[in-house]
Amino acid sequence: MARPKIALIGAGQIGGTLAHLAAMKELGDVVLFDIAQGTPEGKALDIAESGPSEGFDASLKGTQDYADIAGADVCIVTAGVPRKPGMSRDDLLGINLKVMKSVGEGIRDNCPDAFVICITNPLDAMVWALQQFSGLPANKVCGMAGVLDSARFRHFLAEEFNVSMKDVTAFVLGGHGDTMVPSVRYSTVAGIPLPDLIDMGWTTQDKMDAIVQRTRDGGAEIVGLLKTGSAFYAPATSAIEMAEAFLKDQKRVLPCAAYCDGEFGLDGMYVGVPTVIGAGGVEKIVNIKLNKEEQEMFDASIKAVQGLVTACKAIDSSLT
């Protein structure tokens, strides 16, 4: 059986890391596409030359030609511009929307059966636009943000409790922005909900509030340290987790930006929610109940995403 084909649109910091991870995990053959001449070719060759030492079998190719992504099974999109210190994700909207148009058309024309994972910011609006520009079914187009935001939350919790991060489950709902909703009630250590751990004296409410806020600011914290761009190791790892769930039909329960049509009371929009990812793409949205406080935070996040979608429509009248 031929190896799966993984197309990476954007061969920058995240794209290169995605290619390295996909090859090392032998998820399939990798095509790196970028408009920058030489970058995808150079990264593809460099990673291929790490194969003999690492011991993986995967072919890697860099290209500026969309025809090379033909028939891809998975397509991960990082094309566009990342933020610099002082910028919000929303500041990227105008420039990255134009990029989504060309990328969406490239996917539509060359790999309409792919499972598409968007990473480009502002995430929830860009994945919505990418689905429209590509015309692919909504369950085959989703955005990576929740896995990353949850991983950050899990990391901070594991440090606070001094336990293995393997035993910490957590998820973050809502849009991938300042209004995201890290769910304390639905996050656990080995099944014990965080509020119970506060009652047990493992931490305090103040410390938990600080961890929630650090999770919300997780992207900005890295941007502030790097100064020249945004996070790329953890974002790439998170998207690979989603791609692997699809390629291996794992039915993983992962938070991602998925198209909600009725779920969570939403009327056709992309936002971060818990989902089941398997061979069918986003196979299910896990429609959990929110309490009053969570619902208020979720509503504020929805409002922020809706504002970005409205801004996209004002820029490009082909979006409906």
Residues forming the site for ligand A3D (CB under 6 A): 9-15, 34-36, 39, 78-83, 92, 96, 99, 102-103, 119-121, 123, 144-145, 148, 176, 229-232, 235
Contact between residue 287 and residue 264 where contact means Cβ atoms under 8 Å apart? yes
Residue with Cβ nearer ligand A3D (193 or 229):
229
d(CA 1, CA 255): 31
Residue type, 271: V
Contact between residue 252 and residue 112 where contact means Cβ atoms under 8 Å apart? no
Residue 95 marked in a binding site: no
d(CA 295, CA 286): 15
d(CA 292, CA 113): 40
Q: Check 140, 154, 176, 216 and give the catalytic one.
A: 176
Minimum CB–partner distance for residue 83 and ligand A3D (Å): 6
Residue 307 marked in a binding site: no
Residue 154 marked in a binding site: no
Residue 89 marked in a binding site: yes
The question of whether 20 is a catalytic residue gets the answer no
Minimum CB–partner distance for residue 51 and ligand A3D (Å): 22
Minimum CB–partner distance for residue 236 and ligand A3D (Å): 8
Contact between residue 189 and residue 167 where contact means Cβ atoms under 8 Å apart? yes
Minimum CB–partner distance for residue 145 and ligand A3D (Å): 4
Residue 302 marked in a binding site: no
Strand order in the sheet with 267-278: 60-63, 29-33, 5-9, 74-77, 115-118, 141-143, 252-261, 267-278, 281-285
Residue with Cβ nearer ligand A3D (229 or 278):
229
Residue with Cβ nearer ligand A3D (90 or 167):
90
Q: Which of 123, 103, 140, 119 is nearest to 235 (CA)?
A: 119
List active site positions: 176
Residue ranges at the known binding site? 10-15, 34, 83, 89, 96, 119-121, 152
Residue ranges at the known binding site for substrate? 83, 89, 121, 152
Residue ranges at the known binding site for NAD(+)? 10-15, 34, 96, 119-121
